[in-house]
Amino acid sequence: MTLKRSWIDSANSAETDFPLNNLPYGVFSVPGKVPCCGVAIGDAIFDVATAEASGLITLQGGPYLQHGTWNPLMAAGPVVWADLRAQLTTLLAADNADTDTLQNLLVQQADAQLHIPFTVAEYTDFYASKDHATNVGTMFRGAENALPPNWLSIPIGYNGRASSVVVSGTDVTRPYGQLKAPDADLPHFGPCARFDIELELGAIVGTPSQGMQSVDAADAMIFGYVLLNDWSARDIQAWEYQPLGPFQAKATATTISPWIVTAEALQDFRAPAPQRSRPLLPYLRESGPMLYDIDLSVGMTPKGGAETIIARTNANQMYYSAAQQLCHHTTSGCAMRTGDLLGSGTISGPEKDMRGSLLELSWGGKDPLTLSGAEQRSFIEDGDTMTLYGAALGAGFRVGFGACTGTLLPAKPLPDWATT
Amino acid sequence: MTLKRSWIDSANSAETDFPLNNLPYGVFSVPGKVPCCGVAIGDAIFDVATAEASGLITLQGGPYLQHGTWNPLMAAGPVVWADLRAQLTTLLAADNADTDTLQNLLVQQADAQLHIPFTVAEYTDFYASKDHATNVGTMFRGAENALPPNWLSIPIGYNGRASSVVVSGTDVTRPYGQLKAPDADLPHFGPCARFDIELELGAIVGTPSQGMQSVDAADAMIFGYVLLNDWSARDIQAWEYQPLGPFQAKATATTISPWIVTAEALQDFRAPAPQRSRPLLPYLRESGPMLYDIDLSVGMTPKGGAETIIARTNANQMYYSAAQQLCHHTTSGCAMRTGDLLGSGTISGPEKDMRGSLLELSWGGKDPLTLSGAEQRSFIEDGDTMTLYGAALGAGFRVGFGACTGTLLPAKPLPDWATT
């Protein structure tokens, strides 16, 4: 786990998210051009679409990189994934003597716009942090019923809305919904007053499947990971979620980081699962460490103000791995498809400042946060920008995701038909 | 509401689901040919793909019918939908004197295989029958907590799994899952023992939307309807559904009828909503009757046995219309896309034989059904075939969906890794 050096100087910095060790995949455009596939390297993006079209990269069964989305490559399977990574590593390594042609395929990230890196087939959200489930359960159902009876046996999940998934940098508009005050008899329709984030890791299915898959097989199906902010309307959720689960509370937006960090890039950062409070059923047992040691944090920036880091946690706090979640997802015979996105669920840790949502950080609004500019926050206010950060830390380098950010815009005016 | 006569004799029968009044859309193939778009008419299918390709049908902005799926036409919007229906009505009407060319575009349904008629973007399932919600709530939570507090205010829904949707005639394999017996401390992993159907109507979004839509606007977005069987593993559901809703219990299969009956074909069969037990919030109020008067029934056929009709109900038993459900679905800003499928939820009625699931019909297994061959059933046994039927009834004609059927195959052998 040492830095692999590149001929692109900015990739050799200890501060960049994108050294040669990483090589994450995104989709970028420059003014006047269509979006195309690229790889982040230091401050630059390497245009792999052109590299493939010009024969600098050749992949069995390709071309795969000509459609402005990574889905064709994702569907090609692990052998092709490894081959592309190996070719990119060779092309961009410091010992490559023939870089003149390659120089022309570099675009500065500052000059590019980033787009959603893959087409989301379906989106599933899980509930894999024991601390998060305990915190939320305590607030919603009381301490004695905090952790549902099934939680220690099932990687609990529910289907989310793929059409809600947007790339980092997309503004989010405060939603409307049905709200019922605790002391009211009946609900009203109005703007959400408790809009929140959820700090998650998203796993992306590459290889499709039919039928039940083991944890190991499921792990091999995962192409890579993104940071994921599952924006959540807590007041809408509280009124709607019984008995069939969250619905409109989670459908406003789900922001993902612009770069897919491949499973291969994260292999050196595997971490073991925590001790099991109850033995897992055989089908869910792991053959090895399947979590990842990825530092995660949340920044909150009021409009015109400075950013405060309000939480720091780690992906190794998950109780169930993405591989276990995906295995469980297939038990019913559910077909999985290239581009399926699996959110980890909010990743909280045992300490107060390790909580991955404002609901937990402000304990339902009872204990507001104080930001660096002295503003107080229980939930997100109009104009606030919320940013997730994540990186696996090597010796003198980091394998990062880039920022996963979004700004909350005020609710739109309510149309007449909704009020009269 | 009288029969429109066609030059295709079988379409003029009072028994056919497919008179000229209907003109439902499907995708069919004959041996050696790729699947293509067709319209059911009597015992035949009219090959609209060839009709469009040869200029017998011309549509503004087309061609739309050349891809073996109805999505391109669905995305074209109501003006094009109405134009296609008008052209088909003219071509297939009894007073068309020039039918020689058209005869060559007819295929007998008996000679064709039917395929899924559209690509499902996302699948949402609702809970719109008050009798069903009351029955299930009584069994799961007791009579005093049967109807959740939000039920009379919100068209409750949850996201389902689009990859589970299959066309009528597809076999369904009994799923595995985590099961916990009421008297057991811990769950085990095994085949579902309480596999069930849900009799539903599926609404298909044609026109996409961004942002909140009124009930009227939502109604205009709906391209058509299918019968929908939301196969359900009740024992998996009972253990998994708290707190985030049904997940693997609903992911094995969702069968839809092969023919999309267009919203336009159903306009003469509009039915009013029931009296409201609690006034709806303004955004959910209807400007007119938005339900449909569609007779629905469920047939159960043991392997090698005769079919018994075990339930008869009507789509006018829904408390919320598909338009209200779709409107609610957009309140959070959720984007809707061409091909989104909205299940109504099980449509039960107030009488015992109007219940749209075996869970209700056998009251959780306490009151088994007796079929015509004297077999008893609480839930579905291996080899049983379950079939949904539906038709709106005119004077001497019916606008039907064709059968929505599936046979339950035994669970596959459990792999070693899942047991040890």
Nearest residue in chain B measured CA to CA from A240: B150
Cβ pair B189, B178 in contact under 8 A: yes
Residue A420 has pLDDT above 80, yes or no: no
Residues of chain A positioned with their CB less than 8 A from the CB of B331:
175-178, 189, 248
Which amino acid appears at position A146 of this protein? Answer: A
Which amino acid appears at position A221 of this protein? Answer: M
**Residue A305, helix vs strand vs coil:** coil
**Residue B21, helix vs strand vs coil:** coil
| Residue of B141, B158, B177 lying closest to A245 (CB–CB) | B158
B184 touches chain A (CB under 8 A): no
Cβ pair B296, B347 in contact under 8 A: yes
**Residue B72, helix vs strand vs coil:** helix
Residues of chain B positioned with their CB less than 8 A from the CB of A188:
281
B330: CB partners within 8 A, 6+ apart: B209, B211, B212, B213, B218, B336
The answer on whether B225 is annotated among ligand-binding residues is no
Is residue A132 part of the annotated active site? The answer reads yes
CA-to-CA dists, residue A367 to A349, A370, A375, A376, A379, angstroms: 18, 10, 13, 10, 11
Token reading at A27: 């989709």
- A389: phi > 0 → left, psi -120 to 50 → alpha, else beta; which? beta
- ∠ CA B119-A204-A3 to the nearest 5 degrees? 150
Residue A328 has pLDDT above 90, yes or no: yes
Which amino acid appears at position B207 of this protein? Answer: T
The answer on whether A237 is annotated among ligand-binding residues is yes
B278–A186 CB contact, under 8 Å: yes
The answer on whether A307 is annotated among ligand-binding residues is no
Pick from A180, A179, A189: which is nearest to A415 by CA?
A189
A413: exposed, middle or buried (Cβ count in 10 Å: 0-12, 13-18, 19+):
exposed
- Reported as a pLDDT band with limits 50, 70 and 90, residue A1 is confident
Residue A200 has pLDDT above 90, yes or no: yes
Residue A63 has pLDDT above 80, yes or no: yes
Nearest residue in chain A measured CA to CA from B233: A332
Alpha carbons B121 and B100: distance in angstroms, whole number: 39
Q: What is the pLDDT of residue B420?
A: 72
Residues of chain A positioned with their CB less than 8 A from the CB of B413:
none
Alpha carbons A283 and A280: distance in angstroms, whole number: 8
Residue with tokens 């509009």: B270
Min Cα distance A283 → chain B (Å) is 4
CA-to-CA dists, residue B356 to A380, B241, B384, angstroms: 43, 20, 17
CATH numbers and ranges of domains, chain A = 9-115 (2.30.30.230), 123-411 (3.90.850.10)
Cβ pair A156, A150 in contact under 8 A: yes
Token reading at B314: 């009507």
Alpha carbons B291 and B267: distance in angstroms, whole number: 10
**Residue A183, helix vs strand vs coil:** coil
CA-to-CA dists, residue A2 to A6, A10, A41, A369, angstroms: 13, 16, 16, 38
| Residue of B163, B282, B419 lying closest to A337 (CB–CB) | B163
Phi, psi of B199, deg, nearest 5: -85, 115
Residue A381 has pLDDT above 90, yes or no: yes
Token reading at A266: 């994260």
B153–A419 CB contact, under 8 Å: no
Percent of chain A with pLDDT over 90: 98
| DSSP one-letter string for A250-302 | G-S-EEE-S-BEETGGGGGGEEPPPPPSSPPPGGG--SS--EE--EEEEEEE-
The side-by-side arrangement of strands in the sheet containing A36-41 is: A106-108, A44-47, A36-41, A25-29, A113-115
A160 touches chain B (CB under 8 A): yes
Q: What is the pLDDT of residue A342?
A: 98
Answer whether the bond into residue A243 is a cis peptide, omega within 30°: yes
Min Cα distance A29 → chain B (Å) is 24
Q: What is the pLDDT of residue A140?
A: 83
Beta strands in B133-277 (DSSP E): 157-159, 165-167, 172-173, 176-179, 188-191, 195-196, 199-205, 222-229, 232-233, 254-256, 261-262, 270-271
B37: CB partners within 8 A, 6+ apart: B25, B26, B27, B47, B48, B49, B65, B68, B69, B70, B73
pLDDT in tens, chain B (420 residues): 899 999 999 999 999 999 999 999 999 999 999 999 999 999 999 999 999 999 999 999 999 999 999 999 999 999 999 999 999 999 999 999 999 999 999 999 999 999 999 999 999 999 999 999 999 999 988 999 899 999 999 999 999 999 999 999 999 999 999 999 999 999 999 999 999 999 999 999 999 999 999 999 999 999 999 999 999 999 999 999 999 999 999 999 999 999 999 999 999 999 999 999 999 999 999 999 999 999 999 999 999 999 999 999 999 999 999 999 999 999 999 999 999 999 999 999 999 999 999 999 999 999 999 999 999 999 999 999 999 999 999 999 999 999 999 999 999 999 999 987
A86: CB partners within 8 A, 6+ apart: none
The answer on whether A194 is annotated among ligand-binding residues is no
Phi, psi of B233, deg, nearest 5: -95, 100
Nearest residue in chain B measured CA to CA from A247: B158
**Would you say the C-alpha torsion A88, A92, A93, A96 has a positive or negative sign?**
positive
Alpha carbons B204 and B116: distance in angstroms, whole number: 13
Q: What is the pLDDT of residue A419?
A: 87
Residue B393: its H or E element: strand B385-393
Residue with tokens 């596999």: B195
Q: What is the mean pLDDT of chain A?
A: 97
Alpha carbons A96 and A6: distance in angstroms, whole number: 9
Q: What is the pLDDT of residue B155?
A: 98
Alpha carbons B14 and A3: distance in angstroms, whole number: 77
Q: A372: how many CB neighbours lie within 10 A of its CB?
A: 14
Residue B361: its H or E element: helix B358-361
Q: Per residue in A267-309, pLDDT tens?
A: 999 999 999 989 999 999 999 999 999 999 999 999 999 999 9
Q: What is the pLDDT of residue A218?
A: 98
Min Cα distance B209 → chain A (Å) is 11
